[in-house]
Amino acid sequence: MEEAPALKFGLLKYNGGGDWYSNPTALPNLAKFCNEKLHTNIDPNYETVEVGSAEIFNYAFMHMTGHGNVVFSDADAENLRLYLQSGGFLHIDDNYGMDPFVRIAMKQVFPELDWVELPFTHEIYHKTFEFKTGIPKIHKHDGKPAQGFALIWEGRVVCYYSYETDLGDGWEDQEVHNDTEEMRTKALQMGANIVQFAFEQ
């Protein structure tokens, strides 16, 4: 008898008109990759969770993406803060164009924290998969280097933000963006490192 999946990813649903629902095949593919390579037991069917909902506390790993506007109410920001302070983890993946909005929204959540760019030596880049030069660049976007930022609360990374790379596009089914197999593998490997880091830190 197969054991039931031990955990499930949550996809953060937010207001403001940004397409929080983009990349529908990304999380299922990441879950399958983690199960195969890290021997995790993650349900490939993720759950959509509203940022202000108590449901968020049922998920240890939340993923957030989109191309546009992000708006958190005060109650949303407070709920997300409590979730992150009590052991939750949020991975934000800039799907191109959400950067200015997500920075404002997360400032509501943690007004006292600033984004810190994680150095290439940080353990998130040296889990099961080695990334000696930090986060891999998957999509061109504005041609800027890919960067990985973190919000660190009391010594713990509560939020990891992948910027100017688009990992989620690389996780999607191959025919969606026609990424090379090499690019898709790099994106999935980095995603697996983020998941592993979130649960081991």
Which stretches of 51-110 are assigned E, i.e. beta strand?
61-66, 89-94
So what's the pLDDT on residue 96? 86
**Strand duo 147-153 + 116-117: pairing:** antiparallel
- Residue 137 CA, chain-centre distance (Å), reads 15
Query: What string of pLDDT tens digits covers the 201 residues of the chain?
Result: 556 778 999 999 999 999 999 999 999 999 999 999 999 999 999 999 999 999 999 999 999 999 999 999 999 999 999 999 999 999 999 998 899 999 999 999 999 999 999 999 999 999 999 999 999 999 876 778 999 999 999 999 999 999 999 999 999 999 998 889 999 999 999 999 999 999 999
pTM value is 0.96
So what's the pLDDT on residue 6? 82
So what's the pLDDT on residue 65? 96
**How far, CA to CA in Å, does 114 sit from each of 105, 152, 190?**
12, 8, 23
Are the C-beta atoms of residues 125 and 131 closer than 8 Å to each other? yes
So what's the pLDDT on residue 2? 59
Name residue, tokens 């993923």.
Answer: 63
